[in-house]
Amino acid sequence: MLKGLFSNTREKGSFYEQLALSYLKRQGLVFEAQNYYCRYGEIDLIMRDGNKMVFIEVKYRKYKGFGGAVAALSHTKQQRLKRSIYQYLTEHQLHNAEVRVDFVAIEGQNPPNIQWIKSVF
């Protein structure tokens, strides 16, 4: 169904980020920002869960091979994400904010399986 739907990987990434965003809103999180870019990398979604700032990495994999989407959060990606979060908090003067980092792994199609992992590090 989705084959040929996307002209590039950015479009595909945006589609699955929107899917994750809708899912997280249904779980009660409140949207703050999407695709925050800085010199260290990108934060896919920034949301609030009560008083906590929640920084969310979204990964999609069509197949579960090689560990699937869950295995896509490499050590290097985690380090970039940590630096990007610190940059965001500094830039927005959120020095004492309570923070959580979540991971949304999306696998397969028709329907895709969404796995929300809270507090990945």
pLDDT digits 0-9 by tens, 48-86 = 999 999 999 999 887 666 666 666 778 888 999 999 999
Sheet containing 30-38: give its strands across: 30-38, 41-49, 52-61, 98-107, 113-117
The lowest-confidence range among 27-36, 40-49, 71-80 is 71-80
The lowest-confidence range among 26-30, 87-91, 109-113, 114-118 is 109-113
Entry pTM: 0.87
| Dihedral angle of Cα 100, 77, 35, 52, to the nearest 10 degrees | 0
* pLDDT > 90 fraction of the chain, expressed in percent and rounded: 63
Residue in the block written with tokens 């699955």: 16
Domains of the chain, with CATH numbers?
Answer: 9-117 (3.40.1350.10)
